Chains A and B, each alone.
Chain A
Amino acid sequence: MIRFDEASIRLDGFALEGVSFHVPTGRYAVLMGKTGCGKTTILEAACGLRPIERGRVYLMDRDVTRLAPGKRNLGLVPQDAALFATMTVEEHLGFALRVRRRPRREIAHRVGELARWLGIGHLLHRRPQGLSGGERQRVAIGRALAARPDVLFLDEPFSALDEETHAEMTQLLRRVHGETGVTVLHVTHNRREARALAELLIVMRGDKVFEGDRAAACLAELDDEL
């Protein structure tokens, strides 16, 4: 479950005021809006990477408003994958468990499991340099899922991918969601991506956030504007 309750988030230039929305446990929500409207900011606030000035944020019924990012049990897949330049794919997949000081055998088992599942077993000893866009995103997804998070945040994960890889990754995300049951908040400005994945739509317009029927109406209005 992801819930924003009248949350205010300050940005460098402006502020997002009174952001409220709710994603029930296990649902796949897509957050849409024009470029620069603050979608990423909401995601960062949910991850604890940006302070909440007023209001509250809950993850899985837990008030996380003032909690450190690492204690929120979430996974983040940023737009550019942001892989660790000096680590191998294997080290990426094991990172969250190493941080949690899990036994070596457990880490090796989980890395193998993720690699098979995401189809990156042949890349385990490679470093990010030289991986294709699709491969990078698979590694980033694996890294985010390694410690079995309650919530997965995706920030325009496919924006740099070609058509074919795009379709492939959409399939993959659907499978990930189906098999893990993780609650997802996926930020995008791509309609097709939203239509293919969203069980729940959240739309940002101006500095307001809309859900449900109003979100669909907003999206139609946005379509008209474009």
Chain B
Amino acid sequence: MRLPLPGSTVPVNRSDVPFVLALGLVASVYVFLIFGLLFAKVFYVQWPLVGEVFSDDRYRYAVLLSLISCSITTILSVWVAVPTAYLMSRVGFPGKRLLDAVLDIPIVLPPLVIGLALLMLFQTSAGVFVQQYVRFTYAIPGVILAQFMVACAFAIRTMMTAFAEINPRQEQVALTLGCTRAQAFWWVVLPEARRGMIPAATIAWARAMGEFGPVLVFAGTTARRTEVMPTSIFLELQVGNLGMAAAISIVMVTLAMLVLVLMRLAGQGPRIL
């Protein structure tokens, strides 16, 4: 399915050409940079090392943990994002502005600080109590929680845009036809919001995949335990193994592209591309 690009076009006259060219010039600098990055990566990479990413136990573990943790994070993020975004876009309540600002905190907070704050949270008595049953610090649930803290904020923003695009009149009509708010949500709004869930899931997945700071601080870098792909890249860079770092990152790039393509095939593609 071909997606309409945002905005609508306005005809360009001959006299507008220099202006449009100037816009194009600025845009092309950025686009060339993007392609430059991708090409540099592809040319620099030593392909036998890419094979090693899949044959070596340690790297394979990191790839698998990345894929599994990102998928769980994505599902959790969409689960939380749909009700939260609906509440924010359709229900009026005191303190809404404040909550709106709070939801942005994970987006604006430096990632390392989020990791540190998570670490501190689990030092409190409530945190220690939870840890008696599920271990978070330096464990796999910690990887997922660290990814979720940031990914969910992005999923919520994306879902809020999706709900804002749905005409509230439809819900109002559903109410007059005998629905309760809950029925109007399940039968009328949610089926339409499905289209918005795909971009929300994509952006949550992409954020989770790239999450590094909080994971590093909160879950650690123990090989075959909490090592995800960004951690592997970081560790390889630290010991000066640029080749291996590049090989792992090319696997990440490929996976990211694959997910974007799959999401596009799944129906309405993500607007972020």
Chain A residues at the B interface, C-beta cutoff of 8 Å: 44, 47-49, 68-72, 74-76, 78, 80, 82-87, 95-96, 99-100, 140, 143-144, 146-147
Contact = CB atoms under 8 A, between A and B. Distances in A.
Contact of A143 (B173, B179, B180, B191): B173
Nearest to A71: B178
Given A82-B167, A84-B170, A95 B177 contact: yes
A57 to B, nearest CB: 14
A69 B175 contact: yes
10 contacts: A44-B172, A70-B176, A71-B178, A78-B172, A84-B174, A84-B192, A86-B191, A95-B174, A95-B187, A99-B179
A82 B177 contact: no
A85 B170 contact: yes
Contacts of A70: 175-180
Nearest to B194: A86
Interface size class of B (residues with CB under 8 A): 10 to 19
B197 to A, nearest CB: 13
Nearest to B188: A84
Interface string B74-118: 000000000000000000000000000000000000000000000
Contacts of B2: none
Contact of B169 (A74, A82, A87, A96): A82
Contacts of B28: none
A80 B168 CA distance: 11
Nearest to A146: B177
Contacts of A86: 191-192, 194
B183 interface: yes
Contacts of A99: 177-179, 183, 187
Contact of B172 (A49, A95, A147): A49
B173 A78 contact: yes
A82 B176 CA distance: 13
Contacts of B180: 68, 70
Interface in B164-219: 166-167, 169-170, 172-180, 183, 187-188, 191-192, 194
A187 to B, nearest CB: 14
Contact of A85 (B173, B174, B192): B192
A75 B176 contact: yes
B51 to A, nearest CB: 46
Given A78-B169, A82-B167, A85-B170, A72 B191 contact: no
A80 to B, nearest CB: 7
A99 B187 CA distance: 10
A96 B177 contact: yes
A47 B188 contact: no
A23 B175 CA distance: 23
Nearest to A155: B169
A82 B173 contact: yes
A71 B177 CA distance: 9
Given A82-B167, A85-B170, A76 B188 contact: no
A76 B178 contact: no
Nearest to A49: B172
B5 to A, nearest CB: 19
Nearest to B172: A49
Contacts of B178: 70-71, 96, 99-100, 147
